[in-house]
Chains A and B, each alone.
Chain A
Amino acid sequence: MDLAVAIIVTVVTAATPLLIAAIGELVVERSGVLNLGVEGMMVIGAVVAFATAQTTGDPYIGILGGIAAGAFLSLLFAVLTLTLVTNQVATGLALTLLGLGMSGAIGEGYVGIPGIKLQAIEIPLLSDIPFFGDILFKQDIIVYLSFALVAGVTWFLFRTRAGLTLRSVGDSQNSAHTLGIGVIRIRYLAVLFGGACAGLAGAQLSLAYTPQWVENMTAGRGWIALALVVFASWRPLRVIVGAYLFGAVTIGQLHAQALGFGIPSQFLSALPYLATMIVLVIISRDRRLTLVNTPASLGQPFVPDR
């Protein structure tokens, strides 16, 4: 029983960065913008969070640093794609390449330094619940934030007027513009939110998941988060399912590596990437599902005419 709890707790830790990055990107895509730079924003978030925590000695300030770094990088993306109307796919790739490059340069002095681990916060009463208390209510603040984010985004998108406006911008940018909605302004805010989330996800990696800085430590998680948005067919609650599924695959293969089974570790390490592909194929096979749910203006350039 204790072992099961311990394993599930690590699944939560592995799923959290995916969940946070994916929920941020979901909002971005719901506003009609495709930001492929999640990996770059995440890795910058990781290194800046680590560096800030080291400098200040406070992991919570580290988290803020990670969020700010992710948001800053997403601002660059927004200026290019929204103001200068560059190709969103190419610009997202550029953001990832820039983020990976910058993080390597920033993090060079931090390689091999033991990090500051974010401490778990036990929630009174709730953490005493058998089984669930240990899994859900003895976690660090980022895990709680991840659930708050899903709840908040769900409420915002489907229960508020602003959320409706954001979805309308993503589904029909021209109609929204005709109605006098500031398409570009809303998209700027959505992209910034996505960047902040990616930065927070990166901070979780370098402060909680493995408290250290390793170059390219995101290892494709930003891309998996992008795949999760498609998997979830742009619904926030389904992102939880996807993220925990991938968290389980990641942790499962780690345990399988430890146990051996005679399977080369590289094959097991490849599993999350192969699982991503398989999941994408299964989802995209049902064209109706994807067509109905994809924000109709996703990736379309928008230049307001006067």
Chain B
Amino acid sequence: MRLELQKRPERSALYALLSPFIAIALTVAFGAVLFAFLGKDPVEALYVYFISPLTSTWSLHELAVKAAPLILIGVGLSVCYLSSNWNIGAEGQLVMGAIVGSTLPIVFPDFQSPVVLPLMMIMGMAGGAAYGAIPAFLKTRFGTNEILTSLMLVYVAQLFVDWLVRGPWRNPEGFNFPESRTFHDYAILPEVLASGRTHYGAVFALVAVVALAILLSRTLKGFEIRIAGQAPRAGRFGGFSASRMTFFAFLLSGALAGLAGISEVSGAVQQLRPVVSPGYGFTAIIVAFLGRLNPIGVLFAGLLLGLSYLGGEEAQIVLGLSDKITRVFQGMLLFFVLACDTLILYRIRLVRTRGAVAVAGE
């Protein structure tokens, strides 16, 4: 018995829609097996993981706080991946955005004015974009592989923020904890609703989704992005510049990651710490693919992955399960998403090795 792929005459619209759901279903099924294996009641565990965080106002706010950076980064990465620019260093761009945006309240704490917050957001985006420009420059100028350079820069950024908060930016009144001073009131991203912690980062995420959905589906730039990924030769003949596209993708995704970073720091944490994010920049890669590189899809995918963080915390408290299981789930999900995407372009047939009897199966 072996699997054989048969190319479909055209892309299957049905499976393009269904494949993320099949992937989620498979992940949940495997998750149930995993929970049973760990000696937990799978139904209860799945409920704790995926349903109970949705049952209280408090946790819905937490969901928005966690999903916002994933969505912001995810839509940016979608543009990168659609145009075949493999930016996997969003985590570093996020950290750099957080650092650059934080200079105002940390280095100039006496500069207190309503313009501080908008300036911080702009500086955060600029910091992330500038950091994203490095792999773009190295790729276009020297042909250096952007996957490796963007990833190496993540480690560099993490070490840099670690040095800052333990060294020059350490809180003078902080009892030697590796933390910056807490931000003054003008530097804190306000909450959107009176009922909970959801800050304006969630609004930024929604704006980014709408803006990029329009950009990708309604503008020439959106067409150019797709061409760069699907038919780069045709794009060159059409007069589109590949290197400008690389810069566009990296600057855009870097800026969005930077915005996610500064929003997280000034909204959720309100000071700079050695670890800025629980891996949002990497989880956003999963978000982008689960959302099929489509901004609206990314919105839902970001909510689901945000939910997985919350469910992980909940499962740790209620069931005593390790929160490490969350990352296993997330990794499994991406695996299944990629596997199910095969169904869009191919029919999968089970073929008996001996004899030519084919068992047709979609």
Nearest B residue to A76, CB-CB: B335
**Which one of A85, A93, A101 contacts B324 once the chains associate, using CB atoms below 8 Å?**
A101
A83 to B339, CA, bound (A): 10
Q: A287 interface residue, CB < 8 Å from B?
A: yes
A266 to B152, CA, bound (A): 14
Q: B342 interface residue, CB < 8 Å from A?
A: yes
Nearest A residue to B34, CB-CB: A105
Q: Are B331 and A94 in contact (CB under 8 A)?
A: yes
**Which one of A87, A89, A98, A104 contacts B335 once the chains associate, using CB atoms below 8 Å?**
A98
Nearest B residue to A77, CB-CB: B335
Q: Are A97 and B331 in contact (CB under 8 A)?
A: yes
Q: Report A's interface with B, CB cutoff 8 A.
A: 36, 76, 80, 83-87, 89-91, 93-95, 97-102, 104-105, 108, 219-220, 223, 226-227, 230, 264, 266-267, 269-270, 273-274, 276-277, 280-281, 284-285, 287, 290, 303
Note all chain A residues with C-beta closer than 8 A to B342.
Answer: 84-86
Q: Mark B154-175, 1 if CB is under 8 A from A, else 0.
A: 0110011011001100000000
Q: What 12 additional pairs, Cβ within 8 angstroms, besides A98-B334, A273-B153, A274-B156?
A: A83-B3, A97-B286, A98-B328, A100-B331, A102-B331, A105-B325, A219-B155, A220-B152, A223-B151, A277-B138, A284-B142, A303-B7
A265 to B11, CA, bound (A): 53
Q: Are A85 and B5 in contact (CB under 8 A)?
A: yes
Q: Are A97 and B155 in contact (CB under 8 A)?
A: no
Q: Are A104 and B327 in contact (CB under 8 A)?
A: yes
Q: Are A84 and B5 in contact (CB under 8 A)?
A: yes
Q: B51 interface residue, CB < 8 Å from A?
A: no
**A–B pairs, 12, beta carbons within 8 Å:** A36-B147, A76-B335, A80-B338, A84-B5, A85-B5, A86-B341, A94-B338, A97-B331, A104-B328, A264-B163, A266-B162, A273-B153
Nearest A residue to B88, CB-CB: A93
Q: Which of A93, A95, A223, A287 has the most CB of B within 10 A?
A: A93
**Which one of B152, B163, B334, B339 contacts A97 once the chains associate, using CB atoms below 8 Å?**
B334
Q: Are A91 and B338 in contact (CB under 8 A)?
A: yes
Note all chain B residues with C-beta closer than 8 A to A285.
Answer: 142-143
Q: Which of A85, A230, A270, A276 has the most CB of B within 10 A?
A: A270
Q: Are A108 and B286 in contact (CB under 8 A)?
A: no
**Which one of A85, A101, A276 contacts B346 once the chains associate, using CB atoms below 8 Å?**
A85
A208 to B55, CA, bound (A): 49
Q: Which of B81, B142, B326, B348 has the most CB of A within 10 A?
A: B142
Q: Which of B138, B156, B326, B331 has the most CB of A within 10 A?
A: B331
Closest 6 CB pairs of A and B: A101-B327, A98-B331, A266-B163, A104-B324, A105-B324, A94-B334
Nearest A residue to B84, CB-CB: A89
Note all chain A residues with C-beta closer than 8 A to B147.
Answer: 36, 89
**Which one of B7, B149, B334 contacts A277 once the chains associate, using CB atoms below 8 Å?**
B149
